[in-house]
Amino acid sequence: MSEPLTEDLLRELAPQVLGVLVRRFGDFELAEDAVQDALLAAATQWDTEGRPANPRGWLIQVAQRRMADAVRAEVARRRRESTVFAREVPGEASGRDDTLDLYFLCCHPELPPAGAVALTLRAVGGLRTGEIAAAFLVPEPTMAQRISRAKQKLASLPRPFADGATDRARLHAVLQVLYLIFTEGHTSTAGEGLRRADLSAEAIRLTRALHALLPTDSEVTGLLALLLLTDARRAARSGPHGELIPLAEQDRSRWDRAQITEGLRLLTATMPAGLTGPYQIQAAIAGLHGQASHVDDTDWPSVLALYTLLERRTPNPMITLNRAVATAMVHGPAAGLALTDTVAEALARSHRLAAVRGHLHEMAGDPAAAVADYQRAAQQTASTPERDYLLLRAAHLRTGERTQSGDPAARGRITTGG
């Protein structure tokens, strides 16, 4: 197998190196600066001087030296911490993956949950502030302030930090982060491509690692099942030119049956305790889609029942929007449209509300309203494939070319099973 490109290797190693620095030192801003310096040095030197035998250890040592230079200029407390850090770092170059540790560190119980998740997505997940803001449905400046406050709070806490793998609050936050990173990888909020394979693959890798640590935790298992069942459809979700293919039109022979089987096996293993967690429930919904050989075979009444249960357990406007789609498939588009009205204000910033309403108006035989909603959704999305798809549907309706369509929400984010 050929070696990965330098850029790909550095992207993979960056959070691990950051984990070594922050887990022992606790100063995010200083650690981030040191890691960036080390990455820049690697990008400059490796292509000309050759890649070192231990790239991860090389980056750690370079970053350590950058931090040491900065620490020496600070007060005695910093010099003492630098001594401890220098003593412990050599053992870290042995190959241990600290990325998961860093997730738990960022999700410290002293941080508000929203701040902890946002900080982890930015510092470890590599998501841009705008992408995180879109996931939380808040303005980008608001999210930037939230991340800044979380960094400042974390820097003020006593170090070293305790292990958080058994802390339920921290575990819940880590699961949410992994879920959101996968979601951004599954369907990017912006850009020319439909998905970011690096993000979704990393989320699955880390969720597998977390499952290996906590194999009997039903929500950890449920999240892994959900990610596998959803990722199994990736090959069928886009056409030869990168165009979006909605769930109803996908060639299901291209779905990864091995992943679907693994996901269903994991989900089944959680059943003795009942469907109690949101990731279990969403995995069950994804499992119903995965088991249907054709869109017409989908057990929509069960999908609706599961979304109703999910909404009861974790109220959220996006869940309500997904329930509206399932409601329309069971009780008709008028019932689904009425339900979307209840989240119109909460989802005013999201293009998914208009996209779903466009589909439901199309189902109801109101092409003019559907065209208006599809055009509105196209204006709101920053994703080129989604925008093109929405405009194409509007154009078809304007010219009378009505096409078959399944679950419109399923064409997008992980929460809809796309």
For 292-301, the pLDDT digits (tens) are: 999 889 999 9
Q: Of all helices (H) and strands (E), which one includes residue 190?
A: strand 190-191
| Mean pLDDT within 266-289 | 94
Q: Pick from 256, 249, 232, 240: which is nearest to 385 by CA?
A: 240
Contact 149, 132 (CB under 8 A): no
With a CB cutoff of 8 Å and minimum separation 6, the contacts of 135 are 121, 180, 183, 184, 189
- Distance between CA 181 and CA 121 in Å, rounded? 7
Between vectors from CA 411 to CA 335 and to CA 300, what angle results, nearest 5°?
45
Identify the bridge partners of residue 382 per DSSP, sorted by sequence position. Answer: 190
DSSP 50: -
- Distance between CA 197 and CA 343 in Å, rounded? 31
Q: Of all helices (H) and strands (E), which one includes residue 383?
A: strand 382-383
Counting Cα atoms < 13 Å in the Cβ hemisphere of 82 gives: 18
Q: How confident is the model over 403-414, as pLDDT tens digits?
A: 444 444 433 343
- Band of the pLDDT at 125, cuts 50, 70, 90? confident
Of the listed ranges 14-18, 39-43, 205-209, 402-406, the least confidently predicted one is: 402-406
- Burial tier of 331 (Cβ tally within 10 Å: 0-12, 13-18, 19+): middle
Q: How confident is the model over 180-214, as pLDDT tens digits?
A: 889 888 888 877 888 888 888 888 998 998 999 89
pLDDT at residue 11 in the model:
81
321-328 LR contacts (CB < 8 Å, sep 24+): 321/347, 321/352, 321/353, 321/356, 321/409, 321/416, 322/409, 322/415, 322/416, 322/417, 324/356, 324/360, 325/356, 325/359, 325/360, 325/407, 325/408, 325/409, 325/410, 325/416, 326/300, 326/407, 328/360, 328/363
Identify the bridge partners of residue 238 per DSSP, sorted by sequence position. Answer: 244
Amino acid letter for position 159: R
- Distance between CA 189 and CA 209 in Å, rounded? 26
Between vectors from CA 283 to CA 187 and to CA 285, what angle results, nearest 5°?
90
Contact 353, 344 (CB under 8 A): yes
Compute φ and ψ for 339, nearest 5 degrees: -70, -35
> Token pair for residue 170?
């921290």
| Mean pLDDT within 96-101 | 66
Is the predicted pLDDT of residue 89 greater than 90, yes or no? no
Contact 278, 313 (CB under 8 A): yes
> Is the peptide bond between 90 and the residue preceding it cis, with omega within 30 degrees of 0?
no
Is the predicted pLDDT of residue 1 greater than 60, yes or no? no
Position with higher pLDDT, 247 vs 102: 247
Q: List the alpha helices (DSSP H) in 26-54.
A: 28-49
Position with higher pLDDT, 242 vs 416: 242
Torsion angle defined by CA atoms of residues 236, 289, 188 and 393, in that order, rounded to the nearest 10 degrees:
70
Is the predicted pLDDT of residue 274 greater than 70, yes or no? yes
pLDDT at residue 35 in the model:
87
- Distance between CA 152 and CA 157 in Å, rounded? 9
Identify the bridge partners of residue 190 per DSSP, sorted by sequence position. Answer: 382
Q: CA of 304: how far to CAs of 89, 192, 217, 309, 319, in Å?
A: 52, 33, 26, 9, 11
Q: Tokens 């309203």 sit at which residue? A: 369
- Distance between CA 198 and CA 324 in Å, rounded? 32
